[in-house]
Amino acid sequence: MNALARIISEGSGAAPSPMLSIAGLNVAYRGGAGWTPVVRGVDLALAPGRSLVLLGESGSGKSVTLRAIIGLLREEGARVDGEVRVGGRDVNAMAPDELLKLRGNEVGFIFQEPMTALDPVFRIGDQIAETIVQHRGTSWRQAMATARELFDLVQIPSAERRLKAYPNELSGGLRQRAMIAMAMSCDPRLLLADEPTTALDATVQIQVLLLLREIQKERGTAMVFVTHDLGVAAEIADEVAVMYAGRIVEQGDAAQVLLNPSHPYTHALTGCVVQGSYRDHRLGELAGAPPDLAQLPPGCSFAPRCARRQEDCRLTDPARRPVAPRHDVACLHAADLPAGTAGGR
């Protein structure tokens, strides 16, 4: 908690109240034998207008954390505790109708696969308009006009025709742009994006990524962006939080974390990035696979795969501590890491 307080106070000098703050978030799903923890004590804070990338591999809990921000998990039967505050109000304590006003209105959400995330039997325009009508109480006609403007914002050509299209009639890139338009339709103060470019081709991915970056900066929207791709993170993040086995293991400024990783996991990840040719070098490897969340090892959950593990790693689960200003790491031996090993080698 004091780490959190520190981040809040340092986050952005002029704006003391964070757009988003998460404290002690725990999420568990019902598994074969009892509850399986998926997110284990996540603390986060994000100032207005900033973008934070949650970086992690499959099963690290990054998407679950994102969904927790608008309280989607409880309805899915998950056990959630901890505090999630958006604009100062605790989401987990909200009444159902308050939650409806938060979602889509104050917080926009973009999903990974626009093909399945859009209703296949409704026209794109209607799906955007219904959000606007719901939150702004405008007429349908006005809402459609707004949708039309949003299509210009996300640079969809032939907007009139595309508004009347069904999702399967659009290409992947256009679908994701429409999804962004929908998320932005009520001019939210916080945007949540769950791997929004992963399903797209490289040349389209960069377009959507830069569009999102531009809109976010122009409108001053705070954004939490989930990805597994270091390159994508480097393009869009002000801050990066690296997740492993349901925990944030490293957090800080994007350049700090990506170029000067202090946690052995982040370090290994940057080392795994495929570069150069096989003729020149062997790829750095991270042995093994993430742990089964239902049967976590004692101590640091990364320890079994860690190249730098020592005896105490199997005993103590490390807390996050600063290694530099605005750079936290949850590792007992973070200080042992050689500094400035950019790129991993």
Partner 1 sequence: MLLYILRRILYAVPIGIGVTFIVFSLVHIAPGDPISALLPNEATQEMVEAARKEFGLDRPFLVQYAIWLGNAAMGNLGTSIGSGRPVATEVASAVGNTFILAVSAGLVACVLGFLLGIVAGLWRDRPVDHVVNLITIAGVSVPHYWLAILLVIVFAVDLNWLPPLGMGPDRSGGWQFDWAHISHLILPTIATAAIPMAVIARTLRASVVDVLDQDFVTTLRAKGLPRQRLLWHVIRNALPTALAVMGLQLGNMLGGSVLVETVFAWPGTGFLLASAIFQRDLPLLQGTMLVLAMFFVFLNLVVDLVQSATDPRIRRA
Partner 2 sequence: MSVTFSAMQAPLPPIEDRGGPSQPLLIARGLRKEFRLADGLFGGRTVVHAVDDLSLTVNKGETVGIVGESGCGKSTAARLIAGITPADDGEVVFDGESFWTPRTRIDAERRRAIQMVFQDSASSLNPRMTLTETLAFGPRAHGVPTAVARTYARDLLAAVGLPPSRFAERYPIQLSGGQRQRVNIARALAIRPRLLILDEPVSALDKSVEAQVLNLLVALREELSLSYVFISHDLNVVRYIADRVVVMYLGQVVEEATSAQIFAAPRHPYTRALFASKPSLDPRRRIEAPPLTGDPPDPVNPPSGCRFRTRCPIAEAVCAAAKPPLAAAAPEGEGHKVACWAAQPGSGHSLAPRPMGALQ
Partner 3 sequence: MHGTFDSSDIDAVIVPVRHFSYRRVVLGRFMRQPIAMTAALILLAIVLAAIFANVVAPADPFQTRVARRLAVIGTEGRWLGGDELGRDVLSRLIYGGRISLSMAVLPVAIGLFVGGFLGILAGYAGGRTNMAIMRAMDVFYAFPSILLAVAIAGALGPGMMNGIIALSMVFIPPIARMAESVTTQVRSYEFVIAARLSGASTGRILREHVLSNVAGPILVFASSQVSVSIIAASGLSFLGLGVSPPYPDWGLMLSALRQSIYVNPWVAALPGAMIFICSVCFNLVSDGVRRAMEVRR
Q: What character string, x for contact with partner 3 (CB under 8 A) and - otherwise, covers 230-269?
A: ----------------------------------------
| Residue 205 makes contact with partner 2 by CB under 8 A | yes
Contacts of 124-130 with CB under 8 Å at 24 or more apart are: 124/162, 124/163, 124/164, 124/165, 124/166, 124/167, 124/170, 124/178, 125/162, 125/163, 125/164, 127/182, 128/163, 128/178, 128/181, 128/182, 128/185
SS3 35: strand
Task: Provide CB contacts within 8 A for 48, sequence distance 6+.
Answer: 12, 15, 18, 19, 189, 220, 222
Q: Is 79 or 213 the residue whose CB approaches partner 2 more closely?
A: 213
135, interface contact from partner 1, partner 3, partner 2, none, CB < 5-8 Å by kind: partner 1
Q: Is 137 or 288 the residue whose CB approaches partner 3 more closely?
A: 288
Q: Is 135 or 305 the residue whose CB approaches partner 2 more closely?
A: 305
174, interface contact from partner 1, partner 3, partner 2, none, CB < 5-8 Å by kind: partner 2
SS3 105: coil
**Of 116-124, 272-280, 283-291, 309-317: span binding partner 1 (CB under 8 A):** 116-124
CA 50 to chain centre: 13
Q: What is the DSSP string of 213-281?
A: HHHHHHHT-EEEEEES-HHHHHHH-SEEEEEETTEEEEEEEHHHHHHS--SHHHHHHHHHS--S-TTT-
In the complex, the smallest distance separating the C-beta of residue 310 from partner 2, rounded to whole angstroms, is 21
Asked if 179 and 196 count as a contact pair (C-beta separation under 8 A), the reply is yes
| Residue 30 makes contact with partner 1 by CB under 8 A | no
| Residue 121 makes contact with partner 3 by CB under 8 A | no
DSSP category for residue 50? -
List 5, 16, 17, 75, residue binding partner 1 (CB under 8 A): 75
Q: Provide the binding-site residues for partner 3, judged by CB under 8 A.
A: 282, 285, 287-292, 294-295, 297, 304-305
Q: Which residues bind partner 1 (CB under 8 A)?
A: 70, 72, 75, 99-105, 109, 111, 113, 116-122, 130-131, 134-135, 166, 168-169, 182
Footprint of partner 2 on this chain (CB under 8 A)? Answer: 57-58, 171-174, 201-207, 209-210, 228-232, 234-235, 237, 254-255, 258-259, 268-270, 272-278, 282-287, 289-290, 343
